[in-house]
Amino acid sequence: MTEAARAVGLTQPAVTQHLAALEEGYGVVLAERRGRRLVPTAAGSALFAYGERIEAVYRETARAVGEAAGLERYEIGATLTVAEYLMPEVLAALRRSRPGLELRLRAANTEAVAAGVRRGELALGLVEGPFDPKGLEAEVLGQDRLVAVAAPGTSLSGRRFEARDFAGLPLLVRERGSGTRSVFEAWLSGRGVDPAALVPAMEIGSIGTIKSLVERGLGVSVLSELAVAAELAAGRLVGLHVEGLPVKRDIVLLRPAGSRGLFAGCFAPVVAELLRGPSPPGALAGAPFQG
């Protein structure tokens, strides 16, 4: 209750009174104590789910009213890979075609972006990993690939690997909840390797930091082709030959279920065109990729 009060800028007694008023209005118990914890009842969970939907509709209403008045202000979300290596071109293309468009970009992992779209905090989201589809509409706009990379000149660069060999390598991985990590672990599972059996050398939330560490010979990683294209082309990284890699993954547009917003209609084609163009972001022309 204290954390909820802090989140909405009220005092804890005020939140308690709001909860009591809701329980009186619905004639049910919405939360109960279990030991030292306050947990929602089945009725409380049902109300929470509808509350999220109501909030999403409220936010969408505000955007629709703004659109009708000619105001185009949106906050969109993208996973870290997409935000850093695809969205700059997307945003530039949108601003050229719609000079009055005002956009804010929130970069987060797949779980966070999906949750933001579901709650209506984000008008749209672009993700490239597994997500909970509840309360969302999804559209595949294109594909990226995951590739294994290492520093040039190491003993690893000329070898051939299988999925199980990652257990013996100094593996640098993204944080849990990231699309890259989820897709990589699903690939391992599909090839008979339990991801839980791997002990990564480091778990890092920054793609740039992972690339810098790999370039310095401190480990290997499996990253998006979008993210490592420049380093592969320049010879600062090399691709490892791993059976079953590269693995394709979808880049998916998320919007709130039932959304009628106009913005998706101009946003989606721009992303799709960039991903399927003759020289898409992340193209590895001339890169020493061995997969």
Closest among 274, 249, 231, 245 to 166, alpha carbons compared: 245
Residue 217 lies in a domain: yes
Contact (Cβ atoms closer than 8 angstroms) between residue 138 and residue 254: yes
Residue 289 — very low, low, confident or very high, per pLDDT cuts 50/70/90?
A: very low
Residue 94 lies in a domain: no
Residue 256 lies in a domain: no
Residue 228 lies in a domain: yes
Neighbours of 245 (CB within 10 A): 19
Residues in CB range of 190: below 8 A, 6 or more apart: none
Residue 261 — very low, low, confident or very high, per pLDDT cuts 50/70/90?
A: low
How far is residue 102's CA from residue 63's CA, in Å, rounded to a whole number?
A: 12
> Is a pLDDT exceeding 80 seen at residue 158?
no
Contact (Cβ atoms closer than 8 angstroms) between residue 85 and residue 281: yes
Residue 158 lies in a domain: yes
Range of the domain at 172: 143-249
How far is residue 129's CA from residue 38's CA, in Å, rounded to a whole number?
A: 32
Return the CATH number at 183.
3.40.190.10
> Is a pLDDT exceeding 80 seen at residue 32?
yes
> Is a pLDDT exceeding 90 seen at residue 63?
no
pLDDT in tens, 180-195: 898 899 999 999 999 9
Residue 164 lies in a domain: yes
Share above pLDDT 70 across residues of the chain, in percent, rounded to a whole number: 92
Closest among 152, 62, 162, 126 to 271, alpha carbons compared: 126
Residue 175 lies in a domain: yes
Residue 242 lies in a domain: yes
Work out the mean pLDDT of the chain and round it to a whole number.
Answer: 86
Number of folded domains in the chain? 1
The position carrying tokens 């420049």 is 230
pLDDT in tens, 83-118: 999 999 999 998 888 877 888 999 998 889 999 998
pLDDT in tens, 10-30: 898 899 899 999 989 999 999
- Look at 63 and 248; give whichever has higher pLDDT: 248
DSSP state of 52: H
